[in-house]
A and B are shown apart, each in its own frame.
Chain A
Amino acid sequence: MTTAPPPEFVKRPTPVRKANRAIDERFGTQAGLRRNLNKVFPDHWSFMIGEIALYSFIVLLLTGIYLTLFFDPSNTEVIYNGSYVPLKGVEMSRAYASTLDISFDTRAGLVFRQIHHWAALVFVGSIVVHLLRVFFTGAYRKPREVNWLIGVGLLVLGILEGFAGYSLPDDLLSGTGLRIAASIAQSIPIIGTWASFMLFNGEFPGANFLPRLYVIHILLVPGILLALIGAHMGILWHQKHTDFPGPGKTEHNVVGHRVFPIFAVKSGGFFMMVFAMLALLGGLAQINPIWMFGPYDPSKVSSASQPDWYIGFLDGSTRLMPPWEFRGLGHTVPAVFWPTAVLPGILFTLLALYPFLEARFTGDTKSHNLLQRPRDTPVRTALGAMSISFYLVLWISGGNDVIAKTFSISLNAMTWAGRIGLIIVPPIAYAVTKKLCIGLQEKDAEIAHHGIETGIIRQLPSGEFVEDHRPKPELVPDHPHVPTDRYALPSANGHDDGHGKGLARRAGKAVSGFFVEEKEPGTPGHDTPAGSEKH
């Protein structure tokens, strides 16, 4: 191609250009600005999950700042005299009273409190789903192991932050959670008692513990989270995003949209959508109605106390743990130590080390920018399914009393099912997933060799019936496995796009527009300016 001459230097700059030039005179921004605005981000719906986590974090910051203006993290006992009649005259901490005030007597208080809580659930949830996406596609491989480690740190801190947050209102549910947390801290061998006393400033419930928890929740952990998120994004920006293999995509390029303008506008829109979803949830779906639990009282507990979802797996592991308490030599290692301190320690360590373990066992020391399909890595996928099933057994067991009550099952049976399930379900998940992956690989290979079944049965003149196969599509030189979901399969309706008719067709197309970014052109060539480009 011919190089175009540089655009003319505008002699009479508009205010925006003036500002740009003023900044450039001071910082020399133009080349870097252009490079960053022209950065290309690939397009795939699954890359948005991490964005959801980021955006819900921003919503958490915004709503959290609002809540700090009204919340009083004080253990001082007061007599409630707000507008929630059932609790009038009840003695409670100022923390609980101010949470009630936020919920009933502050303009837009309840909606922002509920958005904050929903955003926390979505934050941790989207981190987990994002982690699964990264895991199953092998996005954590070299050179991105550090970002994987940061991500694991973000997950752990997100869980801690969420726990600290829902413990702040000092209601009955959160106080019970803190009591268990104190018992867990106390259970650590040798340092446990000191750890618990240092955390709570004395024997549980401690002296002026809530201000301390408040600092952890609004300063310490968010600060670290913010720094780690910054590092996570910075590394992503520097290393460029991974992408699925596809036409024209290689290990050495990125195909997609530039940051400015399309990616920026789309991402801005996604942020707004996440915010809108959280706003709707916060306005319409009640969450953590602390006024129904009452103030914390160590002598009371509500039945079916459930923590937020991301703590559930620890609750489950605690419930399933057999009563194995080590006693001897004048010391005790409580049963609660193993499922709540050792188990998550092992789980998160394994999670953090996984990229290095995989590289060690596969001997793969190369850098990778193209993602893998889960079926192409059966062992990894099976390990992932195994881990998920392990986690799910724990998580379901965290609500086994609710399940037992709802379905009239014996609670003991639920506990035993969980204990046995924890041992036998993961290996089954491993075996089944591996078989499934290999089966899918075989199907891919068959398509590659014989083409795609069309479902069209033809009778030959000889009377023999044969099924037509579409010839296999051309292999793209960059990657031997073309994902089958990009094959345009023949459809019955004649539109050739797999959608139905009328309104349903339009709706289907609109929805699939969010998921399918690239389609084979329906009739090759009709949209191409003739001879404009050569292959």
Chain B
Amino acid sequence: MSDQTDPGEPGPAGAGGGDQPAGSASERMDYLGYQGEPADKADQDSMSSIFKRAKHPVDTSGAPAGGSGVSAGGPDVAAGTSDGPEALGTPPHQTDSSRIPETTAMRPAGGHGGGVTPRPPRAEDVDRRAERRAERLIAFWFMISVVGTVGFVITNFVGDKHKQYYTPCLGSALGMAVGGLGIGMILWAKRLMPHEQAVQERHEFTSSKEEIATTEAELTAGFADTGLARLPLLRRTLLGAGTVLGGLVVVPLLNLTNAKPGKKLDHTSWVKGARLVTEDGRFIKLGDVSIGGIETVFPALPVTGADGTVSYEPRTDVQTKADSTTLLIRLPPGIDRPRKGREDWSIDGHVAYSKICSHAGCPVSLYEQQTHHLLCPCHQSVFDVLDGCRAIFGPASRSLPQLAIAADANGFLYARNGDYDEPVGAAFWERS
């Protein structure tokens, strides 16, 4: 191609051949100079339309089949634009080895090409022994990798997986195995491969005006062919059907749960007469909790047997714990300030509050005996036990719900009014 010939530019082979091993970059550069010509056959670039093929008259490489093979479809508008060379957004830099688009121009190391700052040659470029040294160093790292791999395999199969050393050895060996390869590869690229300052032109992404116009015209014509503009009934029913079909998305979404919310969030497992039971199945009696003490309790539901006797069935499964977990706190006598109407919700200084934080549902588990404050470890909400577990600091805005308790004739504590009188845990839209 004639426009590649730049008489003022010596071939890169002359510039780079001096300090590079034969058969490396210098030869490839010539090859690169050639590479742009028949670039259209497999060109998947967005610009590789019929226009581009038309603008690249395949002149020397003798591959016209490539130009015509793919161009089926679409009107033949190429004829009008086939004259003249490719007009790219910017003319290539004059020092490029080629003006063919997608051509990488090579700048040999140490040269002063095109304003690209050159690098001084490395020892490996000029000294055969230095090159050998670098080669040995890289080989050493590759061998480290082999040692690591072998170490990994041995540790994996021979090592005792219950021993302390097992995991650290595996990690270190794997680190050696891949790290040795990695260090070796980076050294290889940095020390032994020719330094290059390849320059590649960028393309403007904007298509030419005629291409845009043609595409738009084709799309418009195609849209007109569908008849959607002419036939309103077709258009409206299609839109309607599409919308209805899209609405079908709701169905699988709703199928995600068989349990409708309903009033589930309003209730816990507590029922009237349910005993307070600890996690290990011990029913709480008066006196079990010392003054200042705290106990996490769950409901033990009363079950009336066939013979009329009542037994209590502790409920400590995950589902129950998630909303029914309750804190039983025994306050020193006389300091509790019960809310109005809740004066008889406590017994002998024992108060029971939901352990599920009214902010985000974490268990409120830190109790400060001196101040009688409860702290939620998740977001640091603080509740004042003496004041009906009012939220006094942090993001929680509601008191912890209180459970009314009483003691039966045997001293066992039980829920005297049944469930909490408000939903426990985090709030939600339907909560009033």
Residues in A lying within 8 Å of B, measured CB to CB: 1-7, 27-35, 38-40, 83, 104-111, 114-115, 143, 176, 179-180, 182-184, 186-194, 196-205, 207, 212, 238-240, 246-258, 261-262, 265-266, 268-273, 275-277, 279-284, 296-305, 315, 318-325, 327, 330-336, 339, 367, 369, 400-401, 411-412, 415, 476-478, 486, 513, 518-522, 527-529, 532-535
Q: Which of B13, B189, B259 has the most CB of A within 10 A?
A: B189
**B43: CB under 8 A from chain A?**
yes
Question: What residue in chain A is nearest B110 (Cβ atoms)?
Answer: A527
Q: Are A197 and B428 in contact (CB under 8 A)?
A: no
**Are the CB atoms of B112 and A279 closer together than 8 Å?**
no
Which residue of chain B has the shortest Cβ distance to A486 in the bound complex? B117
Interface string of B177-199 (1 = CB under 8 A from A): 11111111110111001001111
Q: Is the beta-carbon distance between A334 and B182 smaller than 8 angstroms?
A: no
Given contacts A111-B167, A203-B323, A276-B175, contact A325 B5 (CB under 8 A): no
Nearest B residue to A175, CB-CB: B318
Chain B interface, >50% SS class: loop
Chain A proximity of B73: nearest CB distance (Å): 18
Q: Is B313 an interface residue (CB 8 A)?
A: no
> Which residue from chain A places its CB closest to the CB of B152 in the assembled complex?
A108
Q: Which B residues are in CB contact (< 8 Å) with A30?
A: 41-42
Q: List, in ascending order, chain B residues with CB within 8 A of A193's CB.
A: 261, 265, 428-430
| Chain A residues closer than 8 Å to B193, beta-carbon distance | 261-262, 265
Q: Does the CB pair B186–A266 fall under 8 Å?
A: yes
Contacts of A240 in B (CB 8 A): 200, 202
Q: B171 and A280: CB pair below 8 A?
A: yes
24 residue pairs from A and B, CB less than 8 Å apart: A3-B30, A6-B34, A28-B42, A39-B200, A105-B161, A240-B200, A247-B117, A248-B197, A253-B202, A255-B199, A272-B185, A281-B171, A283-B167, A298-B322, A298-B363, A299-B298, A301-B377, A412-B393, A476-B115, A521-B117, A527-B110, A528-B118, A533-B112, A534-B8
Question: Which of A40, A334, A519 contacts B427 (CB under 8 A)?
Answer: A334
A197 close to B260 (CB less than 8 A): yes
Taking a contact as CB atoms closer than 8 A, the residue among B183, B360, B394, B430 that contacts A323 in the complex is B394
From residue 4 to 50 of chain B, which have CB atoms closer than 8 A to chain A? 4-6, 8-15, 18-19, 30-35, 38-44, 46
Contact of A415 among B323, B377, B380 (CB under 8 A): B380
Q: Does B401 contact A (CB under 8 A)?
A: no
Contact assessment for A1 and B5 in the assembled complex, using a CB-CB cutoff below 8 Å: yes
Whether the Cβ atoms of B198 and A257 lie closer than 8 Å is: yes
Minimum CB–CB distance for B99 against chain A, Å:
11
Residues of A contacting B147 with CB < 8 Å? none
A301 and B171 contact, CB distance less than 8 A: no
Q: Output the nearest chain B residue to A200 by Cβ-Cβ distance.
A: B257
Type the 1/0 row for B340-361, where 1 means its CB is closer than 8 Å to any CB of A.
Answer: 0000000000000001100111
Q: A29-B42, A203-B322 are in contact. List 8 more A-B contacts (CB 8 A).
A: A31-B43, A109-B161, A203-B323, A268-B185, A283-B167, A284-B168, A331-B432, A534-B8
Closest 9 CB pairs of A and B: A283-B171, A272-B182, A276-B179, A4-B30, A269-B185, A323-B397, A183-B426, A248-B116, A202-B259
Bound form: Cα–Cα A275–B183 in Å: 12
Number of B residues, CB within 8 Å of A? 135
The answer to whether B196 and A258 have CB atoms under 8 Å apart is yes
CB–CB A411/B182 < 8 A: no
A261 to B1, CA, bound (A): 27
Instruction: Mark B236-267 against chain A: 1 for CB-CB distance below 8 A, else 0.
Output: 00000000000000000110111111001100
Give CA–CA (A351, B273) in the complex, Å: 55
Cβ–Cβ contact A411 & B380, under 8 A: yes
Question: In the complex, what residues of B have CB within 8 A of residue A106's CB?
Answer: 161
Q: Is the CB of A104 within 8 A of B189?
A: no
Query: Whole-angstrom distance from the CB of A191 to the nearest CB of chain B?
Result: 8
| CB-defined contacts of A400 to chain B, threshold 8 Å | 380
Q: Is B418's CB within 8 Å of the partner chain A?
A: no
| Contact A38:B378 (CB < 8 A) given known A192-B428, A325-B397 | no
Q: How far is the CA of A105 from the CA of B90 in the complex (A)?
A: 64
Nearest chain B CB to A107 CB, angstrom units? 6
Q: State how many angstroms separate the Cβ of A233 from the closest Cβ of chain B.
A: 15
Contact among B90, B121, B181, B199 with A272 in the assembled complex (CB-CB below 8 Å)? B181
List the A residue with the shortest CB-CB distance to B255: A198
A304:B377 contact, CB within 8 angstroms: yes
B174 at the interface (CB under 8 A from A): yes
Residues of B within 8 A of A205 (CB): 318-319, 322
Is B321's CB under 8 angstroms from A298's CB?
yes
B394 A254 Cβ-Cβ under 8 A = no
**Residue pair A3, B259 in contact (C-beta under 8 Å):** no
- Bound CA–CA A180/B6 (angstroms): 70
Partner among B13, B183, B425 whose Cβ is within 8 Å of the Cβ of A269:
B183
Known: A193-B428, A247-B116, A247-B117. A253 touches B365 (CB 8 A): no
* Choice from A31, A143, A273, A334 contacting B186 with Cβ under 8 Å: A273
Cα distance, A532 to B118, chains bound together (Å): 13
B65 nearest CB across to chain A (Å): 11
Indicate whether B120 reaches chain A with its CB closer than 8 angstroms.
Answer: yes
Q: CB distance B42 to A319 under 8 Å?
A: no
Task: Judge whether A299 and B429 touch: CB under 8 Å.
Answer: no
- In the bound assembly, the distance between CA atoms of A400 and B281 in angstroms comes to 37
Q: Which of A253, A283, A320, A533 contacts B200 (CB 8 A)?
A: A253
Contact residues in B for A270 (Cβ distance below 8 Å): 182, 186
* Residues of chain A contacted by B395 (CB below 8 angstroms): 318-323, 335-336, 339
Whether A298 lies near B428 (C-beta < 8 A) is: no
- Using known A-B contacts A207-B259, A532-B15, determine if residue A518 contacts B363 with beta carbons closer than 8 Å: no
Q: Does chain A have a CB within 8 A of B400?
A: no
B15 CB, min distance to chain A CBs, angstroms: 4
**B169 contacts A by Cβ under 8 Å:** yes
| Residue ID in chain B nearest A178 by CB atoms | B361
Q: Which of B35, B157, B426 contacts A334 (CB 8 A)?
A: B426
B396 at the interface (CB under 8 A from A): yes
Against A, the Cβ 8 Å flags (1 = close, 0 = not) of B262-290 are 00110000000000000100000000000
Highest count of chain A CB atoms <10 Å: which of B30, B199, B256, B361: B361
Closest Cβ of chain A: how far from B329's Cβ, in Å? 15
